[in-house]
Structure formats: C-alpha cells, structure tokens
Amino acid sequence: MSKIKVLVVDDSATIRMLLSKGLNLDPELEVVGTAPDPYVARNKIVELSPDVITLDVEMPRMDGIEFLRRLMAAYPLPVVMVSALTEKGKRITLEALDAGAFDFVHKPSGSHGAQGLQDMLTDLRQKIKSAARANLTTLRKSLNRVTAPIARPLAPVRPTALAETTDKVVAIGASTGGTTAIRDMISMLPADFPGTVLVQHITPGFTTMFAERLNEIGTVQVKEAQHGDRIITGRVLVAPSGHQMTVRRSGGFYYVDCVPGPPICGHIPSVEALFQSVAKQVGANALGVILTGMGGDGADGMAAMRKAGARTLGQDEASCVVFGMPKVAWEKGGVEKLLPLEEIVPNLLRLLRAG
C-alpha cells in the first residue's frame, strides 16, 4: 500500500520540523516536502504531486484564503488547515472551510506543553488520512459557491414574536464538510421555517463564531444554543462545543438542554444524543437531516427518529465531502431518501406542506 504524500506549508521553520517529524512517525504517511509560503508551495505542488497539504492559516506574502481559492480552482487538492485559536485565526479558518478546505486542526498554546502537541498531531494524522479519501469535486464546488454571493432578500425578515411556537422540529447533524453544507442550507430557509436544532462537529471554541456567521446569511435567526432555550419558528439553535444538546418537551413547547457530559459516539456535541432525544420527545412531529461527515454518529438516532414517525433525509454520496454518516444511517434504515445537498431544503418544505 503506497503512503499518503503530504506537503507541509508553514512560515515557521520550527512548526515545519515538528509537523514533519510527527507525521512521518505514522507508517501510512510521508512528508515529501515543506514550504515557508504559498509561492514556494505552488512550485512544490507541481514538483512533488502531494496527496494532501497542511496549510498554516496565517501565511506571509499571499493571503491564505486567496492561495486556497487559487489552488482549488487550478489544482484541487485536499487541504487541512492548521489554525491558531485566536479570534483572527478562527475567522480565517471558517473562511478557509468556505473556500474548500477539507478540515482543520488548531495549534496548541504554550500552556498545553508536549501533550498538547501530541494530541494535535494525532488529530492531524487522522484528518490527513480522511482528506486523502475526500470527494475533490465537492471540495472544488465549495469555492464556486462562496465566490458567488448567496441570493437572499435585500431586507431579511426575522420573526419578532419570540413566544411563537413551532408545530414541527427539524434536527440536523453534520461533521466533515458540514460547515459549508449547512451554510448553503441556511441560506435557503424561509423566515417561517420550523424551529431547528443543529449539531456540527467542530473544534471547541468555534461554535459561537460559526453561529454568528450563519446568522448573517439568511432570513432565519441562528444562535449558539444556551441551556433552556426555546425551540421556536424561524430560529436555528447550534449545539455549543463541549456540551451535549438534547431536546425536551414541556407542555406544548420544546426546549434544549445543553449540559457537559462524556462523548457519545466519540463526540461532544453528538448527533446521536440529539437525534435520540428528538425521537423520544418530538416523535412524528420531527424531521431529520444527516449531512456529510466521517463515521456513524447519529445513525442509530436517526433510525429511532424514523421508527417514531419522523421524516428523514440524508445527503447523497456525490454531494458529500465524506460519505460516512449518511451512508451508515442509510444502511441502518434511518434515512428515507438520499438527496443532493441542493435538493434537501426543497424536499423539507414539501414534507412540511404535506403535513
């Protein structure tokens, strides 16, 4: 079995050395070269034909996002971003995901010491292996979508009556590739869309900014969920990092509980925890959507939702960056229908109209 060839791009010689040594410890990976900036990286890509690139978020001589966009347009390759957990680093990282990056890891701060570095390298090795199997066509389409402005009303209308209830609850789960897929879905939702709860696997510290960015692109309100928030029409609640988000019913209303807890299916927040609660608390009044992502988080929960009478949809293989979570949910009988990403919202609206 041939090794996955990796090109490390970082302006710090120390980071290039640490990443190279750490990645080469894995028998499935080989660092074939390093580059201190995008211009050197461009030449190394042509010379070395890497399978995956690791790219520092904040690069000299050329804006990292601009380099990524040019790369995805001319020579598409899976890119794993290496991000600093600063506010600027978070913003650029989310822009990079919009521009076609496969995923990201964050550099540990000095306070994390050697263990923080080892944890980051373990995460990076796994994401490089997954990136090598990514759907490049879908990654490249991410660039085309973010380059063109998202069509939306000039003056978005947000619901003003926060006491408004919702007859239905829509539950969405996603992982790798999901930040872009969710952005596209949110841009299509009408202002009177049923209350929605959402789990996106994302590095701790990013959910607040992720929700804020989503809130700027459509007619629904998007916010990071807080314990006890009401699920209401026209609002999307994003599960906060480090917490399991579940749904409970009290009288005729639905609320979210967000509490720290152990990982479920390896994740916190977990799609499985959300979907299982929706199956029990919402039942046939729910609609479920499972999007692109690695692994099988949410598969059993979606099967439970369907058994409870909910309608369920999954993203199809052709439009997924990683056809993992929808595939497992489909195989376990949780998904009624697999659809291209752009058809999911129209189908949800049809199901809602049909009652």
Residues designated as active site: 175, 201, 297
Please report the beta strands in the chain, taking only residues with DSSP state E, as ranges in sequence order: 4-9, 29-35, 52-56, 79-83, 103-106, 169-174, 195-200, 221-224, 235-238, 244-250, 253-259, 286-290, 311-315, 337-339
Structure tokens belonging to residue 250: 């009290």
The contacts of residue 69 (CB under 8 Å, 6+ apart) are 99, 100, 143, 147
Q: Say how many CA atoms lie within 13 Å of 298 toward its Cβ.
A: 37
Q: 353 CB contacts (<8 Å, ≥6 apart)? A: none
- Element containing residue 65 per DSSP (H, E): helix 64-74
Residue written as tokens 């916190």? 268
**Dist. CA 333–CA 55, nearest whole Å:** 39
Q: Identify whether the C-beta of residue 335 lies closer than 8 Å to the C-beta of residue 328.
A: no
Q: Can you tell me which residue has the tokens 């949780």?
A: 334
DSSP, residue by residue, 88-117 = HHHHHHHHHHHTT--EEEEPPPGGGHHHHH
Q: Is the peptide bond before 269 cis (omega within 30 degrees of 0)?
A: yes
Give backbone dihedrals phi and psi of 249, rounded to 5 degrees, phi first.
Answer: -105, 135
What is the C-alpha separation between 62 and 44, in angstroms, rounded?
16
As given in the structure block, the two tokens for residue 208 are 């607040």
Instruction: Choose among 199, 249, 246, 247: nearest CA to 224.
Output: 199
